[in-house]
């Protein structure tokens, strides 16, 4: 793992509980933003695919624990969202905002449908009209609106964190007395 991947994942994991707190306190109960899905897409966009997959899983696990949902439902979904974002980044222009928006839309859509399927397989039924109107459409719109600011923030914080850590192969600063 290179320092950039490590700092991006660390920043995302630090921001995850704060994101859930913001969602619970400031966001509406239904139709609010899913910031962790956006974070997992950012991790997928900024990191190597093989590091983004477990990072997305851990972000989803944090969401499962905080929301007391079916354990693993969001973990699997956000891991796949990170994977989709990393795959789209390898195909499209990584500097384009529209490419990031497409990755966010595809990643959150896949995450929502996978979560819906996992919950249904566990006997937790969500009616299709309610899912489309109150979960999927707001989630897709929020992902389009938040991906730019989230990507910018995570990337900047990761770059700042990367300047704090010494480069690989260097044990630390040696000072002359």
**177 inside domain:** no
- pLDDT-derived band of residue 85, with 50, 70 and 90 as boundaries? very high
**168 inside domain:** no
**175 inside domain:** no
Predicted confidence (pLDDT) per residue in 97-131, tens digit: 999 999 999 999 999 999 999 999 999 999 999 99
Which range is least confidently modeled, 26-40, 72-86, 135-149?
Answer: 26-40
- pLDDT-derived band of residue 175, with 50, 70 and 90 as boundaries? very low
Q: Which of 112, 124, 62, 55 is nearest to 86 (CA)?
A: 55
Say if residues 20 and 62 touch (Cβ distance below 8 Å). Answer: yes
Q: For residues 47 and 120, what is the distance between their CA atoms, to the nearest angstrom?
A: 31
DSSP code of residue 7: H
On the question of pLDDT at 14 being above 80, the answer is: yes
Residue 31: burial class (beta carbons within 10 Å; 0-12, 13-18, 19+): middle
State both tokens at 116. 């819906």
Coil, strand or helix: which one is 2?
coil
pLDDT at 165: 66
Say if residues 83 and 49 touch (Cβ distance below 8 Å). Answer: yes
**89 inside domain:** yes
**169 inside domain:** no
Task: Kindly report the CATH number assigned to the domain that includes residue 58.
Answer: 1.10.1760
**173 inside domain:** no
* Residue 22 belongs to domain spanning: 3-162
Single pTM value for the model:
0.86
Q: For residues 15 and 19, what is the distance between their CA atoms, to the nearest angstrom?
A: 6
Q: For residues 106 and 135, what is the distance between their CA atoms, to the nearest angstrom?
A: 15
Total structural domains within the chain: 1
């Amino acid at each position: 793992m290179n320092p950039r991947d490590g700092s991006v994942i660390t920043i995302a994991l630090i921001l995850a509980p704060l994101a859930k707190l913001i969602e619970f306190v400031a966001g509406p109960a239904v139709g609010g933003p899913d910031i962790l899905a956006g974070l997992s897409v950012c991790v997928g966009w900024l990191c190597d695919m093989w590091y983004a997959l477990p990072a997305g899983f851990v972000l989803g696990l944090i969401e499962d624990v905080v929301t007391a949902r079916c354990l693993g439902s969001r973990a699997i979904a956000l891991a796949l969202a990170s994977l989709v974002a990393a795959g789209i980044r390898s195909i499209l222009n990584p500097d384009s905002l529209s490419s990031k928006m497409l990755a966010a839309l595809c990643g959150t859509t896949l995450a929502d449908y996978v979560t819906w399927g996992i919950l249904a397989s566990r006997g937790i039924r969500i009616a299709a009209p309610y899912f489309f109107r109150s979960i999927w459409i707001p989630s897709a719109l929020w992902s389009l609106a938040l991906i730019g600011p989230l990507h910018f923030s995570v990337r900047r914080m990761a770059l700042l964190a990367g300047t704090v850590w010494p480069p690989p192969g260097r044990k630390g600063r040696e000072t002359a007395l």
